[in-house]
Structure 1
């Protein structure tokens, strides 16, 4: 029996939860599946329901809502994490890889106190941003662009051009601490012209 596909979204605000079926065994979901925490030991993989949707080699989890058009915005609160990735991925991204290392995902990565944009294993450093407490992600599917947003100023920090092949879902990778997602948000008016 095939796993159900994420619900599709065409226009307006995106509201999503993290999809337990995709979560690597080292990730625990909580707060009604809107937050994820990294566990060093993780869950015994033999006790995690096995399915073709689950990431097997990397600590990745996907959102449960697919986007195929429009502009969408969500925010992420970072708690005690010094190494993570946030962005979007194709629905059919390989469950053996990590987000940001192929041409099926577009992410912003934070590691070693530095930000970078990642696509197809190419890394572009991003300057003028420190360790975040909360960041925004603006997905403009129709203009083929993913942007990192400074939530305190509501300004775009960096944008990645994206050749989407089909519907994409929010994507997260985490190697310490926790991330809390905030969806169901309107695109801020200050970002409407960007």
Structure 2
């Protein structure tokens, strides 16, 4: 038996031990980035979509780059300057509570993938949402309201199910999102050194004709969230 086979057997025995003890075990994919596969899909990088941010939906306290691929929250000083001008326009398509923004691209079929660099960001929200999901005020942005997202808050990474599911993993520097409309799945990956590790997988019903959009959020004023 080769060393690689011994390691594989040990991992399998450890996994079985955790399952018998009732411990939550996150699925893991450790193939090289260019060859990683899930649910029978080809290499995820071949599915990559160019996602841009829809400024019409942005919370006014978010600063969006000119290329619509980067965002951060305004600092207190920047916000004070803005509030002296006629900058705030309340609109049904705009987030006016949570510091979030929707993507421009909406999907009603197919398989889609994008990555987000969140290196050093202390608070973020990444995932997808139904077109009709609430944006006004501080409604719950979880599976009960049409959101499938991960959230990092106060050092805790959670999947926003109902109730939330705490994820006991090391914090990634880059997150990949795979939306599979046919399979009804939203899968999140931690990307690190050309390796892809599955963080969490949501099951969802996308059988109606409603579009699904990427969604992003952060309260960090120093580091930008960057869509790769």
The TM-score normalised by the length of structure 2 is 0.67
Structure with greater strand percent: 1
Q: 1:178 is matched with which residue?
A: 224
In structure 2, stretches of 5+ residues that fail to align are 1-46
Query: Following superposition of structure 1 onto structure 2, how do residues 60-99 of structure 1 map, counting pairs within 5 Å?
Result: 60-96=100-136, 97=139, 99=141
Quick one: distance in 2 between partners of 1:155 and 1:67?
25
Instruction: Quote how far apart the aligned CAs of 1:13 are.
Output: 4.1
Q: 2:158 is matched with which residue?
A: 116
Count of aligned pairs between the two proteins: 169
Q: 1:125 is matched with which residue?
A: 166
Instruction: Deviation per CA, 1:101-127: give whole Å up to 9, x if none.
Output: 7421110111222211113x4201112
Aligned equivalent of 2:212, options 165, 168, 177: 168
Alpha-carbon RMSD: 2.0
Instruction: Quote how far apart the aligned CAs of 1:74 are.
Output: 0.6
Quick one: distance in 2 between partners of 1:55 and 1:14?
24
Aligned equivalent of 1:35, options 70, 83, 91: 70
Quick one: distance in 2 between partners of 1:15 and 1:49?
28
Instruction: Quote how far apart the aligned CAs of 1:173 are.
Output: 1.6
Structure with greater helix percent: 2
**Which of structures 1 and 2 has the bigger CA Rg?**
2
Aligned equivalent of 2:50, options 15, 26, 30: 15
